[in-house]
Amino acid sequence: MSIPIISSRTAPLPPDVSTAPRLLGTTITVLVLGLLLFSARIITRVRPAPNLGWDDYTMTVAVVFSLVSWSLVVASIPYGTGRHMYYKSQASNIHAALLVFSSQPTWLWANTFVKVSVACMLLRIKRNATWKWFLYGAMTVQVASAIGTTVTLFTECKPFQTLWDPTIPGGYCSLIEIKESMYVNLSVNLTEDLIFSLLPLTFIRMMHVPLREKLVLTVVMGMGLLASAATAVRLTLIKDYGVGGDFSWDNSDMAMWAHLECDIGIAAACIPCLKSPFEKVLRRLGLLSPRDSTAAYRNQKYLPHSENVQMQSWCGSMHQGPRRTKPPYAHSQESILEERNAGFIALDHGIMKTTEVRLSSRAAGVED
């Protein structure tokens, strides 16, 4: 997100218009969608028995931080965020800048926790060392980038209050350092969005299911690419950011795309956790027939054991100790990829096939 520095202008003034309605309309729409999907996800994870994991905890933190950040941006609109600063009083500019700046650390960590949550979900799929260390490394890079950006936010202006109050004598902020920090953080975000969206292809392509089902799963698991698109748009905005000194105007678009990136990420990470509702939508759209839904998933073959795949999907249960209500192979009924199929049970150390035998006898014709 942008740094709300206030400057002056000598060029002719632009029209007194506001981009606040666009900011509110787009962010509210995506935020509500993300909250609905998140709520549905949590409901499916706590009913009929609590089955939460680290991906759910980190996503909850992300949602809370996103709401706080969005609320601060909305609170800045009455002070003129989205309008050209030349038509506002100095006091309004300072209040708007302070609120926008206050929203940035919470947004930054909301976005970080979204990616950490996705990585935790991916850790459920494979258990081999390469897969785990790769994802742990990705999470480390993401957290390190967030820490570095947070430090930059609080140190790039001297004195610190110059971030929102340019009237402080001797205050100075480097626009070059601001843009460099934005480029680094957004590049890390974009890279990890692409990686986390494309990683599922490494196991979806090996599944023994019809091509149509593979395509549907690929689309579902790759919805994080929409967040990547929002990040890419923000990267294009950095070049002209603050060039005219009108940060009150520039902050509106930067804040809008920042929250779209975060909230789309929340929605995309929650969709794979909603198997039953998602299947109903796909059947209504004609993308799945009744045979291609739950029954088909229950009869699909598992990947070879050499791949060491934990087929409990993005929202399968993460075992963190003994459970009283579920066996070790229990899973969420709302996961896209099911852990337990007809005749097969996926275990951490292999695949066990079970056979059901029924014996019957006839009373007639049987003599003692």
CATH of the domain at 32: 1.20.1070
Angle at 231 between CA 228 and CA 234, to 5 degrees: 155
Share of the chain above pLDDT 70, in %: 72
Residue 295 domain-assigned (yes or no):
no
227 located within any domain: yes
Instruction: Look at the chain and report how many structural domains it folds into.
Output: 1
Which pLDDT score, from 0 to 100, does residue 122 have?
Answer: 84
Residue 295: per-residue pLDDT: 43
Task: Find the mean pLDDT for residues 113-133.
Answer: 85
Distance, CA of 85 to CA of 240 (rounded, Å): 16
- The position carrying tokens 């929202």 is 315
Range from 107-121, 158-172, 200-214, 296-310 that averages highest in pLDDT = 107-121
Which pLDDT score is estimated for 177? 79
User: Is 340 part of any domain?
Assistant: no
Average pLDDT value for residue range 112-134: 85
Averaged pLDDT, 139-162: 88
- The predicted-structure confidence for 214-266, as pLDDT tens digits, reads as follows 777 777 777 778 888 888 998 888 888 877 778 888 888 899 999 999 999 99
Residue 106's alpha-carbon distances to 92, 135, 242, 351, in angstroms, are 22, 24, 22, 44
Note whether residue 318 is domain-resident: no
pLDDT grade for 26, boundaries at 50, 70 and 90: very high
pTM: 0.73
Q: What integer is the mean pLDDT of 295-300?
A: 42
What is the pLDDT confidence band of residue 71, given thresholds at 50, 70 and 90? very high
- Least confident among 2-6, 69-73, 109-113, 210-214: 2-6
Q: Which residue has the higher pLDDT, 222 or 356?
A: 222
* Predicted confidence band of residue 272 (pLDDT cuts 50, 70, 90): confident
Residue closest to 9 by CA, chosen among 240, 247, 237, 254 = 247
Does residue 305 sit within a domain?
Answer: no
**In this structure, is residue 94 part of a structural domain?**
yes
Distances in whole angstroms, Cα of residue 303 to Cα of each of 21, 103, 332: 50, 45, 20
Binned at pLDDT 50, 70 and 90, residue 140 comes out as: very high
Which among 304, 310, 302, 320 is positioned nearest to 128, based on CA atoms? 310
- Which of 20-29, 144-153, 315-324, 350-359 has the lowest average pLDDT? 315-324
Q: Which residues of 300-313 are buried (b: 16+ CB within 10 A; e: fewer)?
A: bebbeeebbbbbbb
Q: Answer yes or no: is 4 within a domain.
A: no
Indicate whether 364 belongs to any domain: no
> Which is more confidently placed, 165 or 329?
165
- Of the candidate ranges 111-120, 180-189, 252-261, the one whose mean pLDDT is the lowest: 180-189
The closest of 214, 37, 50, 45 to 114, measured between CA atoms, is 37
Measured from the Cβ of residue 364, the count of other Cβ atoms closer than 10 Å reads: 4
pLDDT for the residue numbered 227: 86
pLDDT at 309 over 50: no
Domain assignment of residue 35, given as a range: 20-278
The pLDDT mean for the chain works out to 75
**Under 8 Å between Cβ of 184 and 206:** no
Lowest mean pLDDT among 37-46, 126-135, 229-238: 126-135
Give the 3-state DSSP-derived string for the chain, with helices as H, strands as E and coil as C.
Answer: CCCCCCCCCCCCCCCCCECHHHHHHHHHHHHHHHHHHHHHHHHHHHCCCCCCCHHHHHHHHHHHHHHHHHHHHHHHHHHCCCECHHHCCHHHHHHHHHHHHHHHHHHHHHHHHHHHHHHHHHCCCECCHHHHHHHHHHHHHHHHHHHHHHHHHHHCEECHHHHCCCCCCCCEECHHHHHHHHHHHHHHHHHHHHHHHHCCHHHHCCCECCHHHHHHHHHHHCCHHHHHHHHHHHHHHHCCCCCCCCHHHHHHHHHHHHHHHHHHHHHHHHHHHCHHHHHHHHHHCCCCCHHHCHHHHHCCECCCHHHCECCCCCCCCCCCCCCCCCCCCCCCCCCCCCCEECCEEEECCEEEECCCCCCCCCCCCCCC
